[in-house]
Amino acid sequence: MTRRGPLLTLAAAAVLGLALLGVNMSKEDPAPAAATSPAASVVAPATSATPAAAPTPAPPTGAPASAPFPAKADYVGTITRAAGPPLTLAITVEDGAVTAYACDGAAVETWLQGRVVDDVARLDGRNGARLEGRAGGGAVRGTLWIGDKSWEFTAPVVTGKAGLYAATDGGVRQSWIVDGAGGVTGVRRGADGGTAPAGPLPATATRIGGGDSVG
């Protein structure tokens, strides 16, 4: 009597059991993917370093920043010299044209003319005289050259009667500067070119404005 029947039955049962095990395993949920932190998934945008803006240089101590010249103004200042009496300087501006006069009230004088360009007044006179100045803080500051000498100056703005005057009679020209305190300084130039202190300022003297030619 053969025993194959029971063996075949056991084999069939084993195959069926393995098949059912595979079905059950296929129905289980797959393992969840590893959680990703939202912060970790954010990619920081690339940033380029922006160079810091260079600071604006401050004006020199005691010297206000320059400003445009007014349309019309008069300035008068005093220049102390190492030798000789001080020079009185008058500058008058009108619509960008500038006339200046400097004198010591005795023998030295010079007239200069020019214009304001890029907020700088540049003037020239006879025998190489010249002036450069900038407006700011109610004054003109700059340098005056006469011959081989040069001086820094500050000429505050003046109003009223203060300013620059001139008169010519018989070939003799007299020029006067009236300062902010009412003081008068002037030089008389004769027909021969000789100089001397000017006389009193007459009521008939002509007031000089920017652009007027005198010297």
Per-residue pLDDT in tens (0 to 9) along the chain, 215 residues = 444 444 333 344 444 444 433 434 444 444 444 444 444 444 444 444 444 544 434 444 556 677 899 999 999 999 999 989 999 999 999 999 999 999 999 999 999 999 999 999 999 999 999 999 999 999 999 999 999 999 999 999 999 999 999 999 999 999 999 999 999 999 999 999 999 999 999 999 999 999 998 87
Q: What is the 3-state secondary structure (H, E, C) of 126-169?
A: HHHCEEEEEEECCEEEEEEEECCEEEEEEEEEECCCCEEEEEEE
Contact (CB, 8 A) for 208 and 214: yes
pLDDT at residue 53, rounded to an integer? 47
Report yes or no: 155 and 75 within 8 Å, Cβ to Cβ. yes
CB 145: neighbour CB atoms within 10 A? 17
What's the predicted TM-score (pTM) here? 0.71
- Write down the pLDDT at residue 64: 67
Cα–Cα distance, 135 to 38 (Å, whole number): 63
pLDDT of residue 102: 98
